[in-house]
A and B are shown apart, each in its own frame.
Chain A
């Protein structure tokens, strides 16, 4: 994608999100009375959202006015999507199924998505590493890990 189109796109998206959030600040849940001499709880957010809106519109304008043809970095879209998907699945799984069950699966999936060639080593690593970390941190140091079906 060309740099200037990306700028326009990003700017438009950010401006849109800023507007949506701004509208949200008018929701009745924020209409509480506030302390004496203080500003409303949504005052500062609105200021920030306003700034974001202005800046992102400036970005759109910058993209429109740009004369260069610069291209963004060449990327391997498929691999990015696979890796991103793998991380999302891992995190969802860790929360609902627990760390011990999901992490080995997660490590394996992400390594797979990235393209690590040796599946045997990947498999062994993904089984041992989460377990070692868990033994040291959860059992020894009493750190909190996401519980689930197994834990």
Chain B
């Protein structure tokens, strides 16, 4: 495929492609930053415009929106405590506290560079080992997927900021909410109480907006003292010195790895990946107590990993024709309409197009890095208006975004109802993130469990027969033991035995 690089680069240096890349990056950042819209909606919006374009321009537009919208979500997460996209849900933990203490520009700098590194890392992975990774992903059948999701659920512990019981409660409620609507295994509609609109179930963006945006609005209503206080006092774009970056290189790389890996496996998306990366970063950090108070490593873990998912999700899409996340579903549909058929035959029959996609992804990430700083500055300025004026506008965007995805009035009401619920929970120190984790993982968890049970004839013990699943279960078990301090107790017991036997 190397032989196609020159021609791919030549194809990109046409005016329309460069314009599409720039427009897509700019639009993507805005779409990501505006709460309620999100990557999937951004791609759907761009779709009709691509009909009149040639394939290269169309792909350029779509890929640049795909990549930069993931980054854009961090802007509002950092500046106003509202994730612009579900993939930035973990960026509020440390991004917003950083902004509150005056380090907003630094936070945005971290987010931009972190996103860039994530994107490039997963692109390298995609280019080098896409077919092999795809083969490995195939090893993850229902049983292995179930084990992975159980593992991912342990991340709740690290995002519950001390309130473990309430975090578990939130997560379980989130898991349950995911069950409303059609049961994918039988077609039975559950918990819709005869409402046609509820029979479609809930989707993540209205839930996210309700839980983060509307509850934030209500929270501000509850505690705000100064009605003229600007929403954003520290923003802009500033890069931290190298001395701050150097100790965090491993965190970034590990988060990239986690993001790419989870992106490759269909069934768990970016939202799960960022929480796993965040938990991992916190677990390994020398200063875990700073997480949640403005520790840049937390922000980097979240932002590097969510952009790393983008390249990872493209692996099964391109190599197998099976989309890895919500954004790649739309990307695949769009590519199909332009006669680019993802799947096993893509690499063999249209290798020039594959190289073009790689080059365009590369350029999209580069542009995101440069235009990102500009976008961060722009939003920082725009958001200096008073909170009391900004919040109604945030609500407006939330309402627009909630309805736009599937034109279902349930989503409108979910935004308000869960805003109230989120606010009430927040008052009593329930952490908001676990509900989102639970909701995102609920359906795949149940589905993989039941599929596994069918395959093993209701024999759950057979789940441990799979080597991959066994490894994952063991890791999960170790993590849980460690959480309860049992790991320490066991090792203390061993040490005492040793000193006893030495006497």
Given A52-B169, A75-B223, A137-B45, A35 and B214 touching (CB < 8 A)? no
B415 to chain A, nearest CB (A): 7
Residues of chain B having any CB pair with chain A under 8 Å: 41, 45-46, 48, 165-166, 168-169, 172-173, 175-176, 179, 183, 185-186, 188, 190-191, 214, 217-218, 220-224, 227-228, 386-389, 391-393, 395-397, 399-400, 403-404, 407, 409, 412-413, 415-416, 419-420, 423-425, 427-430, 446, 449-450, 453-454, 457-458
Whether B391 contacts A103 by the Cβ 8 Å rule is no
A107-151 interface with B by 8 A CB criterion: 107-108, 110-111, 113-117, 121-122, 125-126, 129-130, 133, 137, 141-146
Whether A34 contacts B186 by the Cβ 8 Å rule is yes
| Cβ of A49 under 8 Å from chain B | yes
Nearest residue (CB) in A for B193 is A24
Whether B392 contacts A107 by the Cβ 8 Å rule is yes
Binary flags per residue of A47-66, CB closer than 8 Å to B gives 1, else 0 = 01101100110110010000
List the B side residues contacting A72 at CB < 8 Å.
Answer: 427-428
Whether A91 contacts B45 by the Cβ 8 Å rule is no
A75-94 interface with B by 8 A CB criterion: 75-77, 79-80, 82-84, 87-88, 90-91, 94
Given A32-B186, A41-B188, A6 and B169 touching (CB < 8 A)? no
Residues of chain A having any CB pair with chain B under 8 Å: 3, 6-7, 10, 14, 21, 24, 30, 32, 34-39, 41-42, 44-45, 48-49, 51-52, 55-56, 58-59, 62, 72-77, 79-80, 82-84, 87-88, 90-91, 94-95, 99, 103, 106-108, 110-111, 113-117, 121-122, 125-126, 129-130, 133, 137, 141-146
List the A side residues contacting B188 at CB < 8 Å.
Answer: 30, 32, 41
Cross-interface CB contact of A83 among B221, B386, B389, B430, cutoff 8 Å: B221
User: Bound state CA distance, A3 and B82, in angstroms?
Assistant: 26
The B interface, classified by DSSP as helix, strand, loop or mixed, is helix
List the B side residues contacting A82 at CB < 8 Å.
Answer: 221
Nearest residue (CB) in B for A34 is B186
Whether B179 contacts A45 by the Cβ 8 Å rule is yes
The A interface, classified by DSSP as helix, strand, loop or mixed, is helix
User: Bound state CA distance, A125 and B389, in angstroms?
Assistant: 9
Whether B176 contacts A59 by the Cβ 8 Å rule is no
User: Bound state CA distance, A129 and B400, in angstroms?
Assistant: 12
Whether B415 contacts A91 by the Cβ 8 Å rule is yes
Nearest residue (CB) in A for B415 is A91
List the A side residues contacting B172 at CB < 8 Å.
Answer: 48, 51-52, 55
Cross-interface CB contact of B412 among A14, A75, A83, A94, cutoff 8 Å: A94
List the A side residues contacting B415 at CB < 8 Å.
Answer: 91
Whether A41 contacts B190 by the Cβ 8 Å rule is yes
List the B side residues contacting A55 at CB < 8 Å.
Answer: 165, 168-169, 172
List the B side residues contacting A14 at CB < 8 Å.
Answer: 169, 173
Given A6-B428, A48-B175, A141-B45, A91 and B392 touching (CB < 8 A)? no
User: Bound state CA distance, A82 and B84, in angstroms?
Assistant: 25
Residue of A14, A36, A108, A146 contacting most chain B CB atoms (<10 Å) = A146
Given A59-B166, A95-B409, A114-B227, A52 and B404 touching (CB < 8 A)? no
List the B side residues contacting A143 at CB < 8 Å.
Answer: 41, 45, 400, 404
Nearest residue (CB) in A for B41 is A143
A45 to chain B, nearest CB (A): 5
User: Bound state CA distance, A107 and B413, in angstroms?
Assistant: 16
Nearest 8 interchain pairs by C-beta? A75-B222, A116-B388, A110-B392, A83-B221, A114-B388, A141-B45, A115-B227, A107-B392
B51 to chain A, nearest CB (A): 12
Whether A84 contacts B218 by the Cβ 8 Å rule is yes
Given A38-B185, A41-B190, A114 and B165 touching (CB < 8 A)? no
List the B side residues contacting A137 at CB < 8 Å.
Answer: 45, 400, 404
29 contacts between A and B (CB under 8 A): A6-B427, A6-B428, A35-B186, A35-B454, A38-B453, A41-B186, A58-B165, A73-B223, A76-B222, A79-B221, A80-B222, A83-B221, A94-B399, A94-B412, A99-B403, A106-B396, A107-B392, A107-B395, A108-B392, A113-B221, A114-B220, A114-B391, A116-B389, A125-B392, A125-B393, A141-B46, A143-B400, A143-B404, A144-B404
Whether B176 contacts A48 by the Cβ 8 Å rule is yes
List the A side residues contacting B183 at CB < 8 Å.
Answer: 41
Nearest residue (CB) in B for A147 is B407
Whether A30 contacts B190 by the Cβ 8 Å rule is yes
Whether A44 contacts B165 by the Cβ 8 Å rule is no
Whether A37 contacts B457 by the Cβ 8 Å rule is yes
Cross-interface CB contact of B222 among A73, A106, A129, A145, cutoff 8 Å: A73
Whether B176 contacts A37 by the Cβ 8 Å rule is no
Whether A114 contacts B400 by the Cβ 8 Å rule is no
Given A91-B415, A91-B416, A125-B389, A133 and B397 touching (CB < 8 A)? yes
Whether A145 contacts B392 by the Cβ 8 Å rule is no
List the B side residues contacting A30 at CB < 8 Å.
Answer: 188, 190
Nearest residue (CB) in B for A103 is B396
Whether A76 contacts B404 by the Cβ 8 Å rule is no
User: Bound state CA distance, A126 and B388, in angstroms?
Assistant: 13
